[in-house]
């Protein structure tokens, strides 16, 4: 897997009729990057089937921490893997807020995902109030140390820095803010994993689009992006993949 990662999070968007967007993205993945789309759970299996043999990988948006059992409505990491997923987003701020996911929940999900052979795309990020109070760096470091430890498989891990105030708002963190935070995340990961931390892809997420992608990818310690709204169509996502390939 290339360390440059362009990942799309479709959230609760997309019907069967939108699968041709995934076909078009799969047909346009540039060499030198890993491209990944995480559609809603019901589209994982058909998307994986349609993209088999292409460079596009498919992921889930969450999984349960248990391998199986009496958890009505839940999806296990093994089920995602069985459906053809290669990765899963974990700890997204929308799930922390809407479903009350805690750092401990996320730690358990990361372990389950990696045991099932999935890459864990672990999301961290501060609220606007936390940034305004000057605690953004400490908050993100706390999220990392609460959810990761040396038993995690660094080879099956990506970290996505997604400031909550930049998600779906059209506001993007500045290159200075991104560079500062990504350096801090890299140092925090080095404290857990040692030199291996250099190999963990660090993604930025928060209103990334075709216009701002190149500037974001030029920041040190930015290995790619986790993209929400602009991943829903091939027309919007392909230029982001191309900007990453050119970075």
Active-site amino acid positions: 92, 162
Which positions from 34 to 73 touch ligand PEP by CB under 6 A, shown as an x/- string? ----------------------------------------
* Residue 91 is a binding residue for ligand PEP (CB under 6 A): no
Distance of alpha carbon 223 from alpha carbon 225, whole angstroms: 7
In this chain, which of 164, 228, 234, 243 binds ligand PEP, going by CB under 6 A?
A: 228
* Residue 207 is a binding residue for ligand PEP (CB under 6 A): yes
Comparison of 39 and 206: residue with beta carbon closer to ligand PEP: 206
Distance of alpha carbon 124 from alpha carbon 105, whole angstroms: 14
Distance of alpha carbon 33 from alpha carbon 246, whole angstroms: 10
Distance of alpha carbon 83 from alpha carbon 46, whole angstroms: 8
In this chain, which of 60, 163, 205, 224 binds ligand PEP, going by CB under 6 A?
A: 205
Q: How many residues does the chain have?
A: 247
Task: Give the binding range for ligand PEP (CB under 6 A) out of 21-29, 37-45, 80-88, 161-169.
Answer: 161-169
* Residue 226 is a binding residue for ligand PEP (CB under 6 A): yes
197-235 in b/e form (b: 16+ CB < 10 A) is beebbbbbbbbbbbebbeebbebebbbbbbbbbbbbebe
Q: In the bound complex, what is the minimum distance in angstroms from residue 221's beta carbon to ligand PEP?
A: 18
Query: H or E segment at 175?
Result: helix 175-193
Comparison of 230 and 244: residue with beta carbon closer to ligand PEP: 230
Comparison of 80 and 216: residue with beta carbon closer to ligand PEP: 216
Longest dimension (CA), the chain: 48
Which positions from 164 to 203 touch ligand PEP by CB under 6 A, shown as an x/- string? ---xx-----------------------------------
Task: Give the binding range for ligand PEP (CB under 6 A) out of 48-56, 64-72, 98-106, 204-212.
Answer: 204-212
How big is the CA angle at 156 (ends 90 and 38), to the nearest 5 degrees?
45
**Contacts (Cβ under 8 Å, ≥6 apart) of 245:** 4, 30, 31, 32, 33
Task: Give the binding range for ligand PEP (CB under 6 A) out of 28-36, 69-77, 186-194, 221-229.
Answer: 221-229
- Cβ distance 245 to 4 under 8 Å? yes
Which residue has the closest beta carbon to ligand PEP?
Answer: 228
Residues that contact ligand PEP, how many (by CB under 6 A): 13
- Positions in the binding site for ligand PEP (CB under 6 A): 9, 162, 167-168, 205-208, 226-230
């Amino acid at each position: 897997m290339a360390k440059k990662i362009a990942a799309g999070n479709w959230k609760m968007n997309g019907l069967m009729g939108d699968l041709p967007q995934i076909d078009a993205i799969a047909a346009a993945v540039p060499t030198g990057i890993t491209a990944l789309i995480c559609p809603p759970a019901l589209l994982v299996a058909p998307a994986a089937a349609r993209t088999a043999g292409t460079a596009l990988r498919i992921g889930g948006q969450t999984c349960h921490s248990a391998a199986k059992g009496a958890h009505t409505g839940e999806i296990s990491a093994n089920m995602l893997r069985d459906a053809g997923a290669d990765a899963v987003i974990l700890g997204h701020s929308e799930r922390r807020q809407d479903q009350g996911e805690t750092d401990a929940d996320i730690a358990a999900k990361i372990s389950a995902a990696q045991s099932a052979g999935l890459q864990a795309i672990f999301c961290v990020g501060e609220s606007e109030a936390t940034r305004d109070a000057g605690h953004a760096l400490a908050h993100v470091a706390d999220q990392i140390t609460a959810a990761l430890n040396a038993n995690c498989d660094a080879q099956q891990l990506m970290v996505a820095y997604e400031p909550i105030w930049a998600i779906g708002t059209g506001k993007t963190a500045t290159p200075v803010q991104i560079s500062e935070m990504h350096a801090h995340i890299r140092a925090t990961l080095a404290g857990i994993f040692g030199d291996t931390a250099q190999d963990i892809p660090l993604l930025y997420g928060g209103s990334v689009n075709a216009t701002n992608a190149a500037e974001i990818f030029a920041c040190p310690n930015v290995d790619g992006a986790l993209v929400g709204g602009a991943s829903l169509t091939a027309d919007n996502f392909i230029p982001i993949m191309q900007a990453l390939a050119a970075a």
